[in-house]
Amino acid sequence: MTKVIFVACLFFPVLLFAQAKKPQPKARAKTGSLTTVSIDRGKTVYSQFCLSCHQADGSGVPNMNPPLIKTKWVLGPKTVLIQQVLKGSQGKVEIDGDTFHNTMPAQAQLTDQQIADVLSFVRNSFGNKASMVTPAEVKVVRAKTK
């Protein structure tokens, strides 16, 4: 009997410890703010429609696809950035002395929400820190871009 109690005493703290170490739901899930939700969705849009060219870490491909790290497009006026996605562009882009030649196809098939999400993701990833883009902002630019 004493042996049982001894073993119980030995394991009880271990059990408590194991319980405490159970993975807690992520803090962000608790807040579940619109901001993090939009950025999370944006990551998925990015993987599908941008990653192949701009790469998982936003560093782009030398001489071809420009990086999305602290460029004047990414951090600059949102109108220009939204237009870049809606209309695409081709020709030549110069960033920090490096030039990039390739075509970025227009991504106008994406919804206002998807564009807002992906740009909010880009503006808050890869070391970037900038304000969110809202679907309403995309809508305004889309109406003017047509």
Residues that bind ligand HEC (CB under 6 A): 49-50, 52-54, 65-68, 71, 73-74, 81, 84-85, 89-93, 100, 102-105, 107, 118, 122
Query: Which residue, 32 or 105, has its beta carbon nearer to ligand HEC?
Result: 105
Query: Which residue, 104 or 132, has its beta carbon nearer to ligand HEC?
Result: 104
Structure tokens at 108: 């106008």
Q: Where are the alpha helices (DSSP H) in the chain?
A: 2-21, 27-31, 34-49, 51-54, 72-75, 78-87, 112-123, 135-145
**Beta carbon of residue 9, minimum distance to ligand HEC (angstroms, whole number):** 59
Please report, as a single letter, which amino acid is at residue 135.
P
**Beta carbon of residue 126, minimum distance to ligand HEC (angstroms, whole number):** 11
**Beta carbon of residue 40, minimum distance to ligand HEC (angstroms, whole number):** 16
Query: Which residue, 75 or 140, has its beta carbon nearer to ligand HEC?
Result: 75
Measured CA to CA, the distance from residue 54 to residue 96 in angstroms comes to 16
Buried-state track 37-58, b at ≥16 Cβ within 10 A, e below 16: ebbebbbebbeebbeebbeeeb
Is residue 67 classed exposed, middle or buried when 0-12, 13-18 and 19+ CB atoms within 10 A define those classes? buried
Query: Which residue, 24 or 89, has its beta carbon nearer to ligand HEC?
Result: 89
**Beta carbon of residue 118, minimum distance to ligand HEC (angstroms, whole number):** 5
